[in-house]
Amino acid sequence: MKLVADNLNIINPVIRNALETLDPEPIREMVTRCEIAGADAIDINTGPLSRAPIEKMTFLVETVQSVSTLPILIDTTNPKAMEAGLQANKNISIINGFSLEPQKLKTILPLAKKYKSDIIGYLLYPDSSVPQDASERFDLAIQIHKAIHDHGIEDHQLIIDPIIVPLSWQDGIRQAPEIVNFIRILPDLLGFPVKTIAGLSNLTSGYGNMKKKLRMESAYLPMLAAAGLDMALLNMFHRETIEVAKACVPLIRPGVFSWEEL
Amino acid sequence: MKLVADNLNIINPVIRNALETLDPEPIREMVTRCEIAGADAIDINTGPLSRAPIEKMTFLVETVQSVSTLPILIDTTNPKAMEAGLQANKNISIINGFSLEPQKLKTILPLAKKYKSDIIGYLLYPDSSVPQDASERFDLAIQIHKAIHDHGIEDHQLIIDPIIVPLSWQDGIRQAPEIVNFIRILPDLLGFPVKTIAGLSNLTSGYGNMKKKLRMESAYLPMLAAAGLDMALLNMFHRETIEVAKACVPLIRPGVFSWEEL
């Protein structure tokens, strides 16, 4: 299971301000800290970037690359920003991502073919609502798979995000174990070893007690890891969660020679 | 998932000394601390109790009962001590346990029928060696199930312990994920909702770094919980592990109404 830093996010005022003023230093520092903490990839989450999308995404990608060679997940709903990021990145890019929303199918999805990059498909309805159960998730996964196939994108480029539901939602507690089971059986359903990603912070979104958040993250992440999750998108500065994430590796990868090496 | 305290163990010098001198106080204190920490049951692990087994087990069980009404797992290889414990206990007893070793089949197993108590079956060969893989575990589970059936013990009395293998063993890392998967599919294999128990401390046995031990426990326990483990036998004073164990509950039990209540 690879760890993807979700720290480089426009929601963080430090990052927002650095982007507004095109100041690379706070971004470099953030990326370096994430890499030291053990990140295997960096998610650049800019939101829609309505003003100067090309300039800003290019600036972000170049800044990240100036201190790191890690793969970059380009996380924006703006197709112009997305393409600018794909063009600027000299390392591995992952498009994060698309859903069955018609606008995204039309504008984001073709970029995966053009740039031969992996692309994350969110299991969301075209109106961005969340599926209610495993059966609805299966239907959406099949539609997502069909969509990439129709656009000439290879199976191995697809990464499915089942969309973790906050525990604070009415059905959050019911959905948490369903999503674990869904991740386990998805490759069998689709008939190929489809990769998966999940945003761990969604689980505790809307809940304030940080100690409890960390504890819930630390308990849920090994369940996802054991189910075969390929990439966990998470806050690399949640030390407790990251330590547990690293401890998962020898428990799920029979190929690892010795747990003392890890 | 219920938490069973493994703290009341003859290996602990405080407990060993209390048992030698028949001093109830250190035992009462230990049991009370385990219950406060969240134990759902207490394992009394005495080893073979070669001298005065009846007197000592009776003393232990009565001492535990003097401060707690929790179920007691009677954990001894000595049939005389086992029966004394079953007779002394006014609360729920669980026999911990038997294997396919002929002596245990003959002396321990009939006690489950006589006292109508649940009984733990270890997935070990008759010579006490550990199975090498899931296929060997399945064979042993079927033999264990046949053994209880032949002794007139009901299916619902059986609790299977797949025997967690230390990560420090040559094949420990290969076995860790296999045991998780085994627990998940065991009820389907046996054709009834068989209960399971696992001794978590086995995982890190033989390894000295306590911080790393706790981290491995904290990562492995949610995997076992998500696989459907019914009882985790563990050190109730490993605070980090216990916190994670409690955080697992809303993530695996769709029946729980709200995670904030937990």
pLDDT digits (tens, 9 = 90+) for B225-246: 999 999 999 999 999 999 999 9
Q: Which among A219, A254, A256 has the least Cβ separation from residue B247?
A: A219
Residues A154-180 pLDDT 10s: 999 999 999 999 998 888 888 999 999
Q: What's the angle, vertex CA B49, arms to CA B44 and CA B50, rounded to 5?
A: 175
Q: Taking 50 as the threshold, does the pLDDT of residue B55 lie above it?
A: yes
Q: Stretch A215-244: mean pLDDT, rounded?
A: 96
Residues A141-152 pLDDT 10s: 999 999 999 999
* Gap from A95 CA to chain B (nearest CA, Å): 30
Judged by CB atoms closer than 8 Å, whether chains meet at A177 and B259 is answered as no
Judged by CB atoms closer than 8 Å, whether chains meet at A227 and B226 is answered as yes
Topology of the domain covering A2-261:
TIM Barrel (3.20.20)
Helix, strand, coil percentages (3-state) for chain A, rounded to 5, are: 55, 15, 30
Residues B172-217 pLDDT 10s: 888 999 999 999 999 999 999 999 999 999 999 987 788 999 999 9
Give the residue extent of every domain in chain A: 2-261
Mean pLDDT, rounded, of chain A = 94
Query: What's the pLDDT score for residue A257?
Result: 43
From CA A99, how far away is CA A93, in angstroms rounded? 18
At which residue do the structure tokens 């656009």 appear? A151
Query: What's the pLDDT score for residue B256?
Result: 43
pTM over cut 0.90: yes
Query: What's the pLDDT score for residue A260?
Result: 45
Q: Taking 70 as the threshold, does the pLDDT of residue A116 lie above it?
A: yes
Q: Who contacts B51 (Cβ-Cβ below 8 Å, separation ≥6)?
A: none
% chain B with pLDDT above 90: 89
Mark out the alpha helices in B132-191 (DSSP H runs): 134-150, 172-190
* HSE value, Cβ hemisphere, 13 Å, CA-based, for A246: 18
Q: In chain A, which residues have their Cβ closer than 8 Å to the Cβ of B172?
A: 259
Q: Stretch A224-242: mean pLDDT, rounded?
A: 96
Query: What's the pLDDT score for residue A208?
Result: 77
From CA A1, how far away is CA A197, in angstroms rounded? 9
Q: How confident is the model at residue A41 (pLDDT cuts 50, 70, 90)?
A: very high
* Gap from B204 CA to chain A (nearest CA, Å): 10
Mark out the alpha helices in chain A (DSSP H runs): 13-20, 24-37, 53-67, 79-88, 102-107, 109-115, 134-150, 172-190, 210-227, 239-252
Alpha-carbon dihedral A223, A229, A235, A237, rounded to 10 degrees: 70
Q: Taking 70 as the threshold, does the pLDDT of residue A262 lie above it?
A: no
Q: How far is CA B147 from the centre of its chain?
A: 20
Q: Does B173 touch chain A (CB under 8 A)?
A: yes
Q: How confident is the model at residue B259 (pLDDT cuts 50, 70, 90)?
A: very low
Q: Stretch A225-249: mean pLDDT, rounded?
A: 95
Q: Stretch A22-51: mean pLDDT, rounded?
A: 97
**H/E element holding B79?**
helix B79-88
Quickly list DSSP for B8-70: SBTTSHHHHHHHHTT-HHHHHHHHHHHHHHT-SEEEEE-TT--SSHHHHHHHHHHHHHTT--S
Task: Determine the 3-state secondary structure of A232 from DSSP.
Answer: strand
Q: Taking 60 as the threshold, does the pLDDT of residue A100 lie above it?
A: yes
- DSSP lists the bridge partners of residue B94 as B73, B118
Topology of the domain covering B103-116+124-254:
TIM Barrel (3.20.20)
Mean pLDDT, rounded, of chain B = 94
Q: In chain B, which residues have their Cβ closer than 8 Å to the Cβ of A176?
A: 250-252
Q: How confident is the model at residue A88 (pLDDT cuts 50, 70, 90)?
A: very high
From CA B105, how far away is CA B180, in angstroms rounded? 27
Query: What's the pLDDT score for residue A253?
Result: 65
Alpha-carbon dihedral B151, B164, A226, A219, rounded to 10 degrees: 100
* Gap from A39 CA to chain B (nearest CA, Å): 18
Judged by CB atoms closer than 8 Å, whether chains meet at B251 and A226 is answered as no
